Amino acid sequence: MSGDIYLDNAATTYPKPESVYRAMDRFAREVGGNPGRSGHHRALESGREVLRAREALARLLRVTDPSRIVFTKNATEALNLVIRGRLRDGGHAVITSLEHNSVWRPLEALAGHGDVTYTVLQCGADGSLDLADLREAITPETRLVACTHASNVSGALLPVAEIAEVAAERGVPLLLDAAQTAGRVEIHPEEMGIAYLAFTGHKELFGPQGTGGLYVAPGWDVEPLTYGGTGSRSESSLQPDFLPDRYESGTLNAHGLAGLRAGVEYVLETGVGEIRRHEGELTGILLEGLYSIPGTLVYGPREWEKRVGIVSFNLGEYSSSELASILDQDYGICVRSGLHCSPLAHRTLGTLRRGVVRASLSHLNTPQDVVALLHALREISRRKP
Ligand SMILES: Cc1ncc(COP(=O)(O)O)c(C=O)c1O
């Protein structure tokens, strides 16, 4: 597997910075205690490690109170927590036509059982959205606006500052799905008036799989998704009412959070601005190269400034799975094909039937990786499918 080129970072980043591997190894060998449970030195150090991860994320997101960042096992769990919490007694939600299944499916499940309804706002393939549609969609019953920060299919960035403003004007909380943007685009929920920000740890924050979380703004607490042991108020049958314990029942993935802490510190040391600049440069090379290959269809905005480092395309008559498999087997290039957990986005792009090949970058990719992909695609385009 060595020597391959990994361009599937929107699924999960690989490789991770060296410091992430070291932090997890150190935790597993040298710490090992259960965070917040016992009073011995291993448990205390484990608790400190989790706190350091929370504080690193608070620095990155410029959140004043780190305890308002709660850990979950991924973005999906964080999104479910808010969607199920806000709509547990019914109500209406507004989402966009670029949402991931981790937003759409929980809403569909609620809508299937009872009093929940929702409106899907139509976006353009470039992530654009008519704010008048949003204003019109919000009714007195609306309890939540949920929106992805960037499409995981096309890479298009959505106008989240404007969406947050409209939601705030109408007194409705905004749930921002930052799974594809945390670590690579500046996001500051307190300054932007975002009530909930869901993130995953294993993408551009460079943590391991099984890590993620949620920022909850003051005044927007919801019922927990899971109840149980927190290591606090153990005498009581009631779930603690303070954060983060209210939402963190059961033993945390401290091994993973040690790695996530190192990943977030890598992002902080490198700087989100530098990460965006590097990925922008690579995305620009990729887009320009793809547009120059005959028979290539590229989806999403033409300018890299309007997207993150995710580019989806199709080539000639190849099916997306056939093309991805040639790239893997003949060239050692890892990309994703088919439908990418977001049928809403595929419908928006007109690729619901065919799917797309998705190449996605991280800060650890090089221009050579992109050039190798373009070279392979040029060769394949000359073959007969
Ligand atoms: C936009 C978006 N939201 C949510 C998720 C879910 O993230 P996770 O699988 O880490 O829960 C993903 C994962 O690809 C995503 O791209």
Distance 274 CA to ligand 1 centre (A): 24
148 lines ligand 1 (CB under 6 A): yes
Residue 165 is predicted with a pLDDT of 97
Residue 354 is predicted with a pLDDT of 87
Residue 32 is predicted with a pLDDT of 94
Distance 125 CA to ligand 1 centre (A): 19
- Of the residues 100, 105, 107, which should be mutated to test ligand 1's pocket, given the most ligand atoms within 8 Å of the CB? 100
What's the pTM value of the predicted model, to 2 decimals? Answer: 0.97
The predicted model gives 129-155 an average pLDDT of 97
Distance 203 CA to ligand 1 centre (A): 9
Nearest CA to ligand 1 atom 15: 179
The predicted model gives 293-321 an average pLDDT of 95
Residue 352 is predicted with a pLDDT of 87
Question: Which atom in ligand 1 lies closest to the alpha carbon of residue 200?
Answer: 10
* Contact (CB, 8 A) for 50 and 254: yes
Domain positions in the chain are 5-16+272-382, 18-270
Residue 155 is predicted with a pLDDT of 96
212 lines ligand 1 (CB under 6 A): yes
Fold classified for 18-270? Aspartate Aminotransferase; domain 2 (3.40.640)
278 lines ligand 1 (CB under 6 A): no
Residue 37 reports pLDDT greater than 80: yes
Distance 101 CA to ligand 1 centre (A): 8
Residue 3 is predicted with a pLDDT of 65
182 lines ligand 1 (CB under 6 A): no
Distance 344 CA to ligand 1 centre (A): 14
pLDDT tens digits for range 234-247? 888 889 999 999 99
Q: How far apart are the first and last CA of the chain?
A: 26
101 lines ligand 1 (CB under 6 A): no
pLDDT tens digits for range 77-126? 999 999 999 999 999 999 999 999 999 999 999 998 778 999 999 999 99
72 lines ligand 1 (CB under 6 A): no
152 lines ligand 1 (CB under 6 A): yes
CATH number assigned to the domain with residue range 5-16+272-382, chosen from the 4 options 3.90.700.10, 3.40.720.10, 3.90.1150.10, 3.30.450.20: 3.90.1150.10
Residue 282 reports pLDDT greater than 70: yes
The predicted model gives 245-251 an average pLDDT of 96
Furthest-apart CA atoms within the chain: distance in Å:
71
The predicted model gives 57-67 an average pLDDT of 98
Residue 1 reports pLDDT greater than 70: no
Q: What are the φ/ψ torsions at residue 142 (nearest 5 degrees)? A: -70, 125
Question: Which atom in ligand 1 lies closest to the alpha carbon of residue 73?
Answer: 11
Distance 366 CA to ligand 1 centre (A): 24
Nearest to 116 by CA among 142, 134, 97: 142
Distance 322 CA to ligand 1 centre (A): 24
pLDDT tens digits for range 296-307? 999 999 999 999
253 lines ligand 1 (CB under 6 A): no
Q: Which residues, in sequence order, are CB contacts of 242 under 8 Å at separation 6+?
A: 67
Q: How many C-beta neighbours within 10 Å does residue 291 have?
A: 11
Residue 36 is predicted with a pLDDT of 84
76 lines ligand 1 (CB under 6 A): yes
SS3 string, the chain, reads CCCCEECECCCCCCCCCHHHHHHHHHHHHHHCCCCCCCCCHHHHHHHHHHHHHHHHHHHHHCCCCHHHEEEECCHHHHHHHHHHHHCCCCEEEEEECCCCHHHHHHHHHHHHHCCEEEEEECECCCCCECHHHHHHHCCCCEEEEEEECECCCCCEECCHHHHHHHHHHCCCCEEEECCCCECCECCCHHHHCCCEEEEECCCCCCCCCCCEEEEECCCCCCCCCCCCCCCCCCCCCCCCCCCCHHHCCCCCCHHHHHHHHHHHHHHHHHCHHHHHHHHHHHHHHHHHHHHCCCCEEEECCCCHHHECCEEEEEECCCCHHHHHHHHHHHHCEECECCCCCCHHHHHHHCCCCCCCEEEECCCCCCHHHHHHHHHHHHHHHHCCC
